[in-house]
Amino acid sequence: MLSITVNAEHSYDVHIGRGLLGEINEAVSTATRVGIIYPIALRVSAESLQVELEGSGRRVVLIEVPEAEESKTAAVLEYCWDALGASEFTRSDMIIGLGGGATTDLAGFVAATWLRGIAWIAVPTTLLGMVDAAVGGKTGINTDAGKNLVGAFHSPSLVVIDVNALSSLPENDLRAGLAEVAKVGLTSDPSILETILSQRENCFDPEQEIVTSLIERAIAVKAAVVSRDFTEQGGPDLGREVLNYGHTFGHAVEKFENYRWRHGAAVSVGIMFVAELANIAGRLSDADLQVHRDVLEVIGLPTTYPAGRWEPLLSTMKVDKKARGDLLRFVVLDGIGKPAILEGPDPSLLFSAYSNLS
């Protein structure tokens, strides 16, 4: 097992390995009540965890929520609050988020808002959840205006990443998770790109230790970034904002597609959008633009997007969390591993970048 420490409003560990679910029992030892928030597909896993925790004297409340982004709504949030209230949860009790990134986003926000903040544990079960959503302390839900516009910074007490959970994950979900791994490679650790390109077949087999290695390396980068800039105040190295590479356009795609697209697929298109934008602006070379396309296509992610949708996408991007007033703000690359900011680009550049995707 590898442990990576994240320093935020409090320090917590991310445990990465195989057969780690026993770690959860010890982590909830101080709680009288534990609420497990999980999607329908993980009911058996949630019930197994319930039996284990109740065997140690905990009172466990199962809170079943919809799958994926359908769980990140105000209505589901209120449902979770009602469940905690009916079970008389106090500040000494805990929440466990068991599932993909949407579930841990929701669970963390439930914990952040109940009694102004109670402890919670993230147990991500998808590759995307492991390398992105569960680490960093950003929690939240979606609204009609856009994705993750309502939320809070509320770090977990522990993150338990059991790589064995990926054994039953569909290959398309593995590919979606690799989008965030590739993002880290493009912005911060180019050796990740070399691994993906040279060991492409092994990257889709959770039994291969290369998958564990990619998870560890991606989380190490994110933990370091979050520890330097927990609340995204920025800095000379962009701070936490670097983690948003490809996400402004990607989130707009997710909203336009009514969240039917996997997050990783939308981020992949978003990465290509900002790569095209940086290339047109003279910031990114043709060769590095091709590196983006090569890596994402090896993973099996989309690198194109249909024409004729620009206006609603632009409208959504204007209310993105990273915008500053009327100025759109994008993380771009001046080269592989060289992130920078492009603020307020000319509208013609934006439309040209979009046009190049079709």
What tens digit of pLDDT does each residue of 237-264 get? 788 899 999 999 999 999 999 989 999 9
Q: How confident is the model at residue 198 (pLDDT cuts 50, 70, 90)?
A: very high
Q: Do the Cβ atoms of 164 and 45 come closer than 8 Å?
A: no
- The DSSP-derived string for 60-107 is EEEEEE-SGGGG-SHHHHHHHHHHHHHTT--TT-EEEEEESHHHHHHH
Which CATH number among 1.20.1090.10, 3.40.50.970, 1.10.8.60, 1.10.10.10 corresponds to the domain 171-355?
1.20.1090.10
Whether residue 234 is predicted with pLDDT greater than 80 in this model: the reply is no
For the chain, what percent of residues have pLDDT higher than 90?
Answer: 75
Is the predicted pLDDT of residue 324 greater than 70, yes or no?
no
Report the predicted TM-score, pTM, of the whole model to 2 decimal places. Answer: 0.89
Which of 33-47, 194-208, 233-247 has the largest mean confidence? 33-47
Is the pLDDT higher at 53 or at 324?
A: 53
- Please state which of the four CATH numbers 3.40.50.1970, 3.30.420.40, 3.30.420.10, 3.55.40.20 is assigned to the domain occupying 2-168: 3.40.50.1970
Segment 328-344 shows an average pLDDT of 94
- Sign of the Cα torsion 100, 105, 110, 111 reads positive
- Only one residue has tokens 């090569």, namely 294
pLDDT confidence of residue 191: 95
- Please provide the average confidence, as pLDDT, over all residues in the chain: 92
| For residues 193-198, average pLDDT | 94
The domain locations on the chain are: 2-168, 171-355
Asked if residue 25 has pLDDT above 90, the reply is no
pLDDT at 338 over 90: yes
What is the per-residue pLDDT across 154-172, written as a single tens digit (0 to 9) for each? Answer: 999 999 999 999 988 888 8
Between 234 and 132, the more confident residue is: 132
Query: What's the pLDDT tens digit per position in 66-119?
Result: 988 889 999 999 999 999 999 999 999 999 999 998 999 999 999 999 999 999
Q: Is the pLDDT of residue 235 over 80?
A: no
pLDDT band at 321 (very low <50, low <70, confident <90, very high): low
